[in-house]
Structure 1
Amino acid sequence: MLIAFLTAHEGVEQVELTDPWQAVKDAGDEPRLIATRPGTVQAFDHLTAADTFPVDQVVAEASADDFGALVLPGGVANPDALRTDPDAVAFVAAFARAGKPIAAICHAPWTLVEAGLVRGRTLTSWPSLRTDIRNAGGTWVDEQVRVCTAAPGTLITSRKPDDLKAFCAAFTDEFAKAAASGH
């Protein structure tokens, strides 16, 4: 199954991209880096520039129909840029409309808020997003990982890099369930 990883052209937290990417590969799926611009994505280790990663496809030319699931890595700047990009927001919303699972860690739920996907849902995130999530009609919890199966589509959320092991285990399990059910 193809799994989309959506990032802005810079600001993604490197470990929140690379660890989930490896988990997808270890599960036998194929990750694809979708970004707001062609070329490369500049990752960060908190506030320090880290590695760059080649973009597979620009979000304006991507379709949720081509993927089985979506991963939204965090970093403060990454989701802040994504939520102001109409193509990125539409791409995320399309996964939910199709009932495909979405995994988001750290600050990435900002993009879920912008896409209108948190009302009536329970999720976790970096703690500073709790007010944004509540204001958008969601319920925020302080847990390593939260799987919310309320419509439209499963959300798998996590708080921070320290929770990556639990996050990766939860979303690979949910992605496998979705693949088995034909979503």
Structure 2
Amino acid sequence: MMLNGKTIAFLVAPEGVEQVELTEPWQAVRQAGGTPRLVSTEPGEIQAFNHLDKADRFPVDTTVEEVSAADFDGLVLPGGVANPDYLRTVPAAVRFAKGFFEAGKPVASICHAPWTLIEADVVRDRTITSWPSLRTDLTNAGANWQDQEVVICVAGTNTLVSSRRPDDLKAFSQAALDVFSG
């Protein structure tokens, strides 16, 4: 599948994104002919992590205050515990993520990333997977949680791709590309 120049937003906090959950889907989007853009809450650089250890830094392309879902063809929400835990406390980041659902654009979420979607109130009546510790949070928010490598949930004009953990990245990236390619 080719993305034919589609632009995909990757929403991350200034610190705490799980590096491999950012870089593998990013590379997949690039290799498929898409343009990944790093969106954060602050300009400059973000600090990625390999679990609890600091990893690489990445330049921010734009902030949530400068763009909206209308500027992109899809959204990737990488995990890491600290990443979505921070994003869900920033109203502009929550509005940015929710905007993709309101616009009927595809979203891909992995690991702990659904915390941002819970805050955006977009998981009710959806089937989703995540890191296992989010099961209760997602169920309490009205979602149907499944323990599967990848879950694709179509609701109206919006499609949500979700996966559990870094071990699922190959399936996650492939499913996200399938959905982003349209």
- Specify the TM-score bucket, using the shorter chain as the normaliser: over 0.9
Measure how far apart 1:151 and its partner are. Answer: 3.0
Of Structure 1 and Structure 2, which has the larger fraction of its residues in helix? Answer: 1
The answer on whether the counterparts of 1:97 and 1:152 sit within 8 Å (CA) in structure 2 is: no
Return the letter of the residue paired with 1:13.
E
Aligned to 1:21: 26
Give the TM-score, by structure 1 length.
0.96
Give the TM-score, by structure 2 length.
0.96
Aligned to 2:150: 145
Aligned to 1:69: 74
Aligned to 1:181: none
The answer on whether the counterparts of 1:43 and 1:52 sit within 8 Å (CA) in structure 2 is: yes
Aligned to 2:124: 119
The answer on whether the counterparts of 1:2 and 1:68 sit within 8 Å (CA) in structure 2 is: yes
After superposition, the CA RMSD in angstroms is 0.6
- What pairs with 1:104-183 in structure 2 (closer than 5 Å)? 104-151=109-156, 153-177=158-182
The SS at the match of 2:156 is coil
Calculate percent identity across the aligned residue pairs: 64
Measure how far apart 1:152 and its partner are. Answer: 5.7
Structure 2 segments unaligned to the other structure (5+ residues) = 1-5
1:7 aligns with 2:25: no
1:69-127 CA-partner distances (Å, limit 9, x unpaired)? 00000000000000000000000010000000000000001111110110000000000
1:31 aligns with 2:36: yes
Extract structure 1 runs of 4+ deviating beyond 3 A.
none
The SS at the match of 1:61 is coil
The answer on whether the counterparts of 1:125 and 1:158 sit within 8 Å (CA) in structure 2 is: yes
Aligned to 1:90: 95
